[in-house]
Amino acid sequence: MTGMQVGTLWGIGVGPGDPELMTLKAHRLIAAAKVVAYPAPDRGDSFARAIAAGAIAPGAAEIPMRVPMRAERFPAQEVYAEAATRIAGHLEAGTDVAVLCEGDPFFYGSFMYLFARLAERFPVEIVPGVSSLGACTAALKRPLTARNDVLTVLPGPLPDAQLKARIKAAEAIAIMKVGRHLTRIRALLDAMGLTANAGYIARASLADQHVSPLAEAPDEAPYFSMILVYRGADPWLS
Amino acid sequence: MTGMQVGTLWGIGVGPGDPELMTLKAHRLIAAAKVVAYPAPDRGDSFARAIAAGAIAPGAAEIPMRVPMRAERFPAQEVYAEAATRIAGHLEAGTDVAVLCEGDPFFYGSFMYLFARLAERFPVEIVPGVSSLGACTAALKRPLTARNDVLTVLPGPLPDAQLKARIKAAEAIAIMKVGRHLTRIRALLDAMGLTANAGYIARASLADQHVSPLAEAPDEAPYFSMILVYRGADPWLS
C-alpha cells in the first residue's frame, strides 16, 4: 500500500429535483464517477439518483443506501455505517466515490452521516447544489430576503412554541419538511394572523410542482414541501 | 401590436463565483439569450457577467446596470429604473431578457429591484442558483444544519444588539455581507464566547477563496465574505 493514493469522497449536491438544476460541476463529476452512492427508500427509487440518472455512466458501480422510513434513528445509523464501510473500501483502493445529495449536501441533508464516518480518514470535497429553499422561492416568484432582512429556517417538526417564538423574530421564514405537520403549522400561522403572508410549495422544480397561497394548500403534504412566510412590508414594494 | 407576444424576463442565478457552479439550465438559457442584463460597479467588471462570460453568445446585446457603490439608495434606484425601461423595450418587442444574478436571484439579491418594476407587466421566470451560503458551507467542509436545527441568516450590517439576540436563538448562524463589519462582529462573537465555533470564508468557490477559523481571519474582509457560527453540539458528532 506504500505511496498508494486514496480516493476522494465527493459530496455532490444534485439540486432540488429538475435535472437541469444540477450544476455543470456536479454533472461532470457524476459522469466521470466509477462509484456512485445515494440515499434511497426501503423500496422503490432514489430521488437523488433519479435527478442524476442522465449523468451516471453506464458501467458505474452503485451503492444505494436504503434507509428505513421510521422515526427511530438506529436502523438508519446502521445503514450509514454499512455504506461507509463499503465506500471506505473503494476509497482505500484509490477510487473516488461520488455521493449524490438532494439539494445541497450540508443543508439539512443526510450526507453528514457519511461525512462524520469518513472525513477524518479520507479527503472530502463538497460540491454545493441549488437548495430546496432557492427552488421554492423561485417557484413562488417572490423575493425571500432583501437588504437587512433576517431569514430563519425552521424544521416543521419543531413544537408550536418554538416555531411561534422564532417566526415572530424574523422578517422571512422558511418552514422545511412540512409533510405531516401541515395542518398543525397552518393552524399556528392562522392564530398568528400570518396565513395571508404565507405560500405553500411542494415538489419544487419538478413537473408536478404545486405552488399556492397557504390558504389553498391541500390537506396532505408530501415530505418535500415548504411554507414560506413573509412578515412585515413586502420587501419589493418598499 | 395585436396578438404580439411579449418577451419573458428571466432572473437567472449564476451561482457564487466558480463558473462551473452555474446550473445546466442557467448555462442553456444564457447561451440562447439575445439580451443579457447584469449589475456592475461604477467602473470595472461585473462579477455576475464574469461568472457567466463563457456562456454569453458573441452577438448578444448587453445591459450593464452600473450601480454606484454609495450608502444612499437613490442613485441605485435611478439606475434600476432606467434599466427597467430599457429591458421593458426588449420585452415589449417580444425578446426575452436574461438577467444575470450572483448566487440565487431571490436570496439577498438586487434582482428584486427589476422584479418590482416589471413583474406586473411581463411574464417572469426565476432560475434558482447555488447561493453563497451553500458555497461557504462547502468551503468550510462542515455541515451547517441537520435534523431539527434552526438556521438564522443575518446581514452583517445589523446592530450588535439585534445580532446578539438572534445568534442566541439559533443552532446555526450565517452572517452575510461581513465586509467592513468584520472587526465589530468578531468582537461581538468573542464576547459571546463563540469565536472557537466560528469560521470565516471570503470569495467562496473562486480560485483565491479564503477559508479559516474566525480567529485567523484577516483584518480586512471583502464585501463577499461570510461568518458561519455553530452553536451547541457539533451536529455530526452527536
pLDDT digit string, tens, across residues A186-214: 999 999 999 999 999 999 999 999 999 99
Say yes or no: B122 and B136 in one domain.
no
Q: Is residue A139 one of the residues assigned to a domain?
A: yes
**pLDDT averaged over every residue in chain A:** 92
User: What distance in Å separates the CA atoms of residue A231 and residue A39, rounded to the nearest whole number?
Assistant: 35
Residue pLDDT, tens place only, B25-70: 999 999 999 999 999 998 889 999 999 999 999 999 999 999 887 6
Q: Which residues contact B127 (CB under 8 A, 6 or more apart)?
A: A21, A138, B10, B11, B12, B13, B23, B25, B26, B29, B105
Residue A144 has a pLDDT of 84
| Contacting residues of B for A162, CB less than 8 Å apart | 150
User: Is B175 inside any structural domain?
Assistant: yes
Q: Do B112 and A143 touch (CB under 8 A)?
A: yes
Domain count, chain A: 2
Cβ atoms within 10 Å, residue A32 = 12
Domain that holds residue A85: 9-127
Residue type at position B134: G
Same-domain check for residues A30 and A113 = yes
B17 inside domain: yes
Contact indicator for A199, B78 with CB cutoff of 8 Å? no
User: For residues A229 and A208, what is the distance between their CA atoms, to the nearest angstrom?
Assistant: 22
A148: domain CATH number? 3.30.950.10
Look at A72-86, A212-226, B125-139 and tell me which has the smallest mean pLDDT.
A72-86
Minimum distance, in Å, between the CA of residue B83 and any CA atom of chain A = 16
Please indicate, yes or no, whether residues B123 and B14 belong to a single structural domain of this protein: yes
Regarding whether A123 and A31 lie in a shared domain, the answer is yes
In chain A, at which residue ranges do the beta strands (DSSP E only) sit?
A: 9-13, 35-41, 61-67, 97-101, 124-127, 151-155, 172-176, 198-202, 210-213, 225-230
- Cα B149 from chain centroid (whole Å): 23
pLDDT band at A148 (very low <50, low <70, confident <90, very high): confident
Look at residue A231 and tell me whether its pLDDT is greater than 90: no
Q: Which chain A residues have a beta carbon less than 8 Å from that of B109? A: 143, 146
Instruction: Tell me, yes or no, whether A157 lies in a domain.
Output: yes
Q: Say which residues have a Cβ less than 8 Å from residue B25's Cβ, sequence separation at least 6.
A: A18, A20, A21, B127
Q: Which residues of B touch A115 (CB under 8 A)?
A: 143, 236
* A2 within a domain of the structure (yes/no): no
Show the cell assigned to B232: 451547541
The verdict on residue B201 lying in a domain is: yes
Residue A4: pLDDT band by 50, 70, 90 thresholds?
confident
- The residue of chain B nearest to residue A140, with distances taken between CA atoms, is B126
How far is Cα A98 from Cα A55, in angstroms, rounded to an integer? 12
CB A121 within 8 A of CB B158: no
pLDDT (tens digit, 9 = 90+) per residue, B158-200? 999 999 999 988 889 999 999 999 999 999 999 999 999 999 9
Sort strands A198-202 and A210-213 into parallel, antiparallel or unpaired.
antiparallel
Contact A152 B155 (CB under 8 A): no
**Looking at the structure, do residues A143 and A213 belong to the same domain, yes or no?**
yes
Q: Is A126–B146 a contact, with Cβ atoms under 8 angstroms apart?
A: no
Q: Is residue A3 part of a domain?
A: no
Q: Complex ipTM, two decimals?
A: 0.94
Confidence of residue B235 (pLDDT cuts 50, 70, 90): very low
Claim to verify: residue A13 and residue A116 sit in the same structural domain: yes
Contacts of B236 in chain A (CB under 8 A): 112-113, 115-116
Boundary (domain end) residue, out of B76, B97, B127: B127
Q: Are residues B20 and B119 in the same domain?
A: yes
Asked if A119 and A197 sit in the same domain, the reply is: no
Domain ends where: A127, A155, A187?
Answer: A127
Q: Do B225 and B146 belong to one domain?
A: yes
CB pair distance less than 8 Å for A155 and B147? yes
Q: A65 near A113, Cβ under 8 Å?
A: no
Out of A90, A105, A127, a domain closes at A127
C-alpha cell at A12: 455532490
Same domain? A32 vs A100? yes
Sign of the CA dihedral running A206, A208, A212, A215 = negative
Same domain, A165 and A213: yes
Question: CA A46 to CA B218: how far, in whole Å?
Answer: 43
Residues A118 and A28 occupy one common structural domain: yes
Residue A152 has pLDDT above 60, yes or no: yes
- To the nearest whole angstrom, how far is the Cα of B233 from the nearest Cα of chain A? 14
Does residue B236 lie in a domain region? no
